[in-house]
Structure 1
Amino acid sequence: MKRSTYRHGDLRRALIAAGLELAREPGPEAVVLREATRRAAVAPSAAYRHFASRDILVHEVSMAAQARLAAAMEDQQRRELARLGPDAAPAARARALLRGVGSGYLSFAWTEPGWFRTAFRVHRDLASSGAAGAAGPRGRTPYQLLSGALDALVEAGQLPPGRRPGAGVLAWSGVHGFATLGLEGPLRDLDGSTRAALAVRLLHMVEAGI
């Protein structure tokens, strides 16, 4: 196999891209450093200068998967705002931002299950929730997009400031739980229309409950 020549940063990006490709269908278990080097057409010794272990590569791939998720959430937020039109009241816009976060999250989980599993599997806390490598095109990570939507609700008078602490964790837990049950739990055999209808109800429940 012909080896590729990369600049320092380009090789790192190429290996992460190869890891994303490996994870897309099965998830993080499929990310293997030697296979990533093969797909990037570089010697394993070159890869180890950037990633001393498979765990480090998987962590970086998970960040990249989160960035893909953030992009999907941003796209859905734009669609929700477009439905309202430019003259919508701040309260309606804030609620649309929150709906976009939730529906974008669920859609990504069900259309890109391997990346969704990869995005959060390796993290034990929120230490990386604001990492630049996990940000979408507008520079915000999935958790930052959720936090921004909740802050907008507070600013619009739709969420009492005293209820804002912890609201992100609660909203995320509800949506992530439903997504996971639909991927690998007892809800995996739901037909598409039933799942979509339940998703709408779930997002309404989260909005009302926070």
Structure 2
Amino acid sequence: MVKGSGGKTGYHHGDLRNALIGAAVELAVEGGPERVVLREAARRVGVSPTAAYRHFSGHGDLLWQVKARGQQALAAFMLEAVREVPPLPDPGEEAERRLAAIGRGYVRFAVENPGLYRTAFRRIPADAPGADGVRAAFTGSAPPGDEPRYSAFRVLTDTLDAAVTAGRMAPAARPGAEIAAWAAVHGLAQLLLDGPLAGLPAGQWEALTDRTVRMVVAGLFG
């Protein structure tokens, strides 16, 4: 689980930019994107706001960096869930289980790390550094890059491709399948965090997640 230190980070090395990003990630963990303020990050690191502002073009730049770190953390969470799926003799069944693990890991990260999850999907100005190309990567008009924050998306697409190769998924159903699967689990996560399902005990939201994931698998592989 991702956790914030809840205290002053301190600055004892030469990479001030990364120290500020780390402090801003802690702020996001504690309170979501609204807490990501460069002045507060500077205070935690122990430098002046003037020194901090030299390393970012503005608030959008800092938020983009924290957003990317949040996406990396989500990807790591999902990949850990996938690694728990054992190799199976039937590659089609293995693809189904991997897809289910991806969905469960996604929702679990959101529920257990709401502040960082909300920041990972916070909209930022279109002209923020690094914002170009993200939509293209996630809609198939351009392949995702090698950045860590794309790793979970690549695992999802590779899993769906493996299902087609194994004959478990019809080739005609493959285009856009990653977006459909993503939308289902993202929608559930939003309902659990900010919708009418907020506050459900663990057993109930886990049961809802299992049912949603089973429906996704059945819809794509049925």
Is the structural similarity TM-score above 0.5? Answer: yes
TM superposition shift of 1:110:
0.5
Q: Which moved more, 1:24-33 or 1:151-160?
A: 151-160
* 2:179 matches 1:169: yes
* 2:165 matches 1:160: no
**Structure 2: distance between partners of 1:103 and 1:65:** 17
**CA deviation profile, 1:83-113 (whole Å, cap 9, x unmatched):** xxx4432112211221121011011000000
Q: Which moved more, 1:113-122 or 1:148-157?
A: 148-157
Identify the residue that residue 130 of structure 2 maps to in structure 1: none
**Structure 1: distance between partners of 2:145 and 2:57:** 20
The residue identity in structure 1 corresponding to 2:81 is: Q
Alignment of 1:27-106 (within 5 A): 27-79=32-84, 81-82=85-86, 86-106=87-107
Whether the 8 Å contact between 1:66 and 1:141 is mirrored in structure 2 is no
TM superposition shift of 1:208:
1.2
**Structure 1: distance between partners of 2:66 and 2:137:** 13
Percent identity reads 43
TM superposition shift of 1:43:
2.7
Identify the residue that residue 206 of structure 2 maps to in structure 1: 196
Whether the 8 Å contact between 1:23 and 1:115 is mirrored in structure 2 is yes
Gaps of 5+ in 2: 1-7, 127-133, 139-143
The residue identity in structure 1 corresponding to 2:50 is: S
The residue identity in structure 1 corresponding to 2:109 is: F
Identify the residue that residue 131 of structure 2 maps to in structure 1: none
Q: 1:34 to 1:133 in 2, by over 3 A?
A: farther
**CA deviation profile, 1:121-177 (whole Å, cap 9, x unmatched):** 125762575455543xxxx43322222221221222122222111111111111000
Q: With structure 2 as the length reference, what TM-score do the two structures score?
A: 0.81
Whether the 8 Å contact between 1:103 and 1:199 is mirrored in structure 2 is yes
Whether the 8 Å contact between 1:72 and 1:105 is mirrored in structure 2 is yes
Whether the 8 Å contact between 2:11 and 2:19 is mirrored in structure 1 is no
Gaps of 5+ in 1: none
Whether the 8 Å contact between 1:64 and 1:133 is mirrored in structure 2 is no
Corresponding pairs, count: 199
**Structure 1: distance between partners of 2:168 and 2:51:** 53
Q: 1:56 to 1:112 in 2, by over 3 A?
A: same
**Structure 1: distance between partners of 2:198 and 2:45:** 34
* Secondary structure in 1 matching 2:30: coil
Q: With structure 1 as the length reference, what TM-score do the two structures score?
A: 0.85
1:208 paired residue among 182, 194, 218: 218
Identify the residue that residue 126 of structure 1 maps to in structure 2: 135
**Structure 2: distance between partners of 1:23 and 1:155:** 40
**Structure 2: distance between partners of 1:206 and 1:163:** 12
The residue identity in structure 1 corresponding to 2:204 is: T
The residue identity in structure 1 corresponding to 2:29 is: R
